[in-house]
Amino acid sequence: MSEASRCEVRAGLEACLARLWRYAIVLSRTNDAADDLVQATCLRAIERAEQFVPGTRLDRWLFSILRSIWLNEIRAQKVREGRGSVDAEEALRSDGAKAIETNILAAEVFRAIGQLPKAQQETVLLVYGEGYSYAEAAGALGIPVGTVMSRLAAARSTLARLK
């Protein structure tokens, strides 16, 4: 195993945890599935650290692992178990009074995002949450760039109607 790869993966994992969890919650919509998904992603990343190329984007590599695990393993398991979905207001609940106004808006938008088709939600997260270019998102999702464009346009169009 490449020690450089192992070290870089280990060093970078913790900094990516929150973003991995966010991706996991967007995919799974359940807290327990998101936790499982992040844990499985970290474990898989460490086990396969030799496959990571030092100097490349660790976060993108981790995201691809997370998505693969979701599609191939956890999604099917959770569907079989019939787990429920996380509530948007619950997920975004704030303990601090200062953030109430912001979070009301965020919760409203998050709820709206949550009502978008799954494919649009994921594309929105990658492009607007993670800063993927259209081409990068297309590559990660295995779809044409034109489909990325139409998904984002549809998502923004839906959200624009909230106003």
Query: Which residues of this protein are in contact with other proteins, per CB under 8 A?
Result: 1, 6, 10, 13-14, 17-19, 21-22, 25-26, 31, 35, 38-39, 42-43, 46-47, 91-93, 102-103, 105-110, 113, 124-125, 127-129, 133-134, 146, 149-150, 152-154, 156-157, 159-160, 163
- Closest listed residue to residue 137, CA positions, set 110, 155, 119: 119
Nearer to other proteins by Cβ, of 68 and 102: the residue is 102
Nearer to other proteins by Cβ, of 38 and 140: the residue is 38
Nearer to other proteins by Cβ, of 75 and 149: the residue is 149
Nearer to other proteins by Cβ, of 13 and 69: the residue is 13
Distance CA 66, CA 59 (A): 10
| Cβ 108 to other proteins shortest distance, Å | 8
Burial of 126 (0-12, 13-18, 19+ CB in 10 A): buried
| Cβ 68 to other proteins shortest distance, Å | 18
Contact 162, 105 (CB under 8 A): no
| Cβ 43 to other proteins shortest distance, Å | 5
Which two tokens mark 59?
Answer: 């976060």
| Cβ 63 to other proteins shortest distance, Å | 13
Contact 89, 111 (CB under 8 A): yes
| Cβ 82 to other proteins shortest distance, Å | 21
Contact 116, 127 (CB under 8 A): no
Length of the chain: 163
Nearer to other proteins by Cβ, of 72 and 157: the residue is 157
